[in-house]
Amino acid sequence: MMIDRRQVLAGLGGIGGLALCGAPRPALARTAVQMGSGEVVALSDGNLVLPFDFAFGDLPEDELDLILARYGVSGDQLEPPCNLTLLRQEDRIVLFDAGSGPAFMPSAGKLMSSLEAEGLTPDDITHVVFTHAHPDHLWGILDDFDEPIFANAEMMIGQDEWDYWTDPATVDTIGEARASFAVGAARRLAAIEGRVGFFKGGDEILPGIMAHATPGHTPGHMSFEIRNGGDAVMVGGDAISNGHVALARPDWPSGADQDPDLGAETRMRLLDQLVADDIALLGFHLPDGGLGRVERAGDYYQFTAEGM
């Protein structure tokens, strides 16, 4: 069964009942990097299933085909992985984003199994920090009965992102295709109101964690630099949304971004920063666990996953 861009953007109403899982994916080796006495771990929430034109529908076909062939990408649908970030330290366990939960796509929402593999339960999480409020990053804060999952955690989100998704006008201005995103975000954010701390780009939100404003994918999208001395990992969210076209042609607008031109500007700036400052990247939709390094390769970039 084929699905189109409109169905994907419609969220649960367009895809919740579709059998999109396909064959089960093999389990990935544990991907982590030591940060002083702590550890940054990539956690799988499964994967999305998207129509090919979701991000690439308006791009130059000939050049796009060459890029995708270089990475062995073919077919009429994409299955991007969903990689959450876990920071384990002696006095806190920080989860960046909460995954899809049970209500978005049947191929996603696998976070509970990933936490269990780490010997953790949701009650062990001390902080949940959001890059943005799209379904695959936010909807996992509620269970099947619409009860909050991370009972002991402080929630943290950028002030601009919170303001955008809690504004009653957003559902009428975001466009019909994304209206269900606005409804779903507002309902879930209301469920955690009173437990949420806010920040802006440039703030140190927790010791050793700096927020970077990376707007475009959403108006208040944030990335987070986790640093210990000379070692750093950037939690990139969806600012760099795939491991092929976003790197080969970061200047191209992406249909997955709410503001495609601003998203491209942000992407180029972030890629330059990762290379110049030698910062590792943990990207939400990047391959092989999403943890690795970005390097320049002539006129474009490439991502090399690392089992660090």
Across the 308 residues of the chain, what is the mean pLDDT of every consecutive 10-residue run?
34 33 52 93 95 83 92 87 97 97 94 97 98 98 94 97 98 94 97 96 98 98 96 97 95 94 98 97 96 92 81
Q: Assess if residue 72 is contained within a domain.
A: yes
Q: Assess if residue 21 is contained within a domain.
A: no
Q: Assess if residue 20 is contained within a domain.
A: no
Q: What is the CATH number of the domain that holds 152?
A: 3.60.15.10
Q: Assess if residue 24 is contained within a domain.
A: no
pLDDT the model gives residue 299: 84
For 9, 75, 126, 206, the CA distances from 83, given in Å and listed in that order, are: 20, 23, 19, 21
Tally of domains within the chain: 1
CA-CA distance, 168 to 28, in Å (whole number)? 41
Q: Assess if residue 197 is contained within a domain.
A: yes
pLDDT the model gives residue 6: 36
CA-CA distance, 255 to 4, in Å (whole number)? 13
pLDDT the model gives residue 15: 33
Write out the residue range of the structural domain in which residue 213 sits.
5-15+31-305
pLDDT the model gives residue 121: 98
Q: Assess if residue 111 is contained within a domain.
A: yes
Structure tokens at 243: 């491991």
Q: Assess if residue 26 is contained within a domain.
A: no
Which residues, other chains included, contact 94 with Cβ-Cβ below 8 Å and sequence gap of 6+? 86, 87, 125, 126, 127, 128, 129, 206, 209
Q: Assess if residue 154 is contained within a domain.
A: yes
